[in-house]
Amino acid sequence: MSFDIIKLNHDSALDLAHLSRETFKEAYSEFNTEEDMALFLSTRFAIEKLIDEFNNPDFEFYGAVDSNGILKGYLKLAILDKYGRRGDCIELARIYILREAYGTRLGHQLMQKAHDRAAEFDASEIYLIVWQENEKAIRFYKKWGFEITGTQTFLLGTDLQDDFVMTKVLKNKLTSNK
């Protein structure tokens, strides 16, 4: 199966909102209450919120479309450092694919796009946040060279959950200015 990775814009907000909710439900609904999932999905993936993020130059969205032009996965990048400032690192804020696309290497295509954009921004590192219980995702990130560098909490609905911060150094900051 082949996918094209395309940059998304506010015209994609409705499709992305639907895909975001669907992929998040597929990944996490069995581990959370219906109430917490409903609260989280209705706020985090609201169309208005996505349109605001599309209009913010600190965020970029890329979609993976199949041969019929249907979104099967997406990537959200934040061109911000860990403190919310523009810097020399990029946050891989989201990378989700539909369960039906598992095993197609779509995750690898999206991860490569994140690395390509990091190189274009001359970023020294990429970081991401992942739920500590998501062993499959953690293994995937480790295969790409990410290491656990910290922890933080994440509020899903009313449930405070523990996450790992994972970082991949792309270049040495001390030698990058030569």
> Catalytic residue positions?
141
Q: In whole angstroms, what separates CA 72 from the centre of its chain?
A: 14
Query: Rounded to whole angstroms, how far apart are CA atoms 155 and 160?
Result: 5
DSSP structure class, residue 29: G
Question: For the chain, where are the E strands, in sequence order?
Answer: 4-7, 59-65, 71-78, 89-97, 125-131, 147-156, 159-169
The answer for 134, left when phi > 0, alpha when psi is -120 to 50, beta otherwise, is: beta
Q: What type of residue sits at position 174?
A: L
Are the beta carbons of 130 and 137 closer than 8 angstroms?
yes
Phi, psi angles (nearest 5°) of residue 10: -60, -20
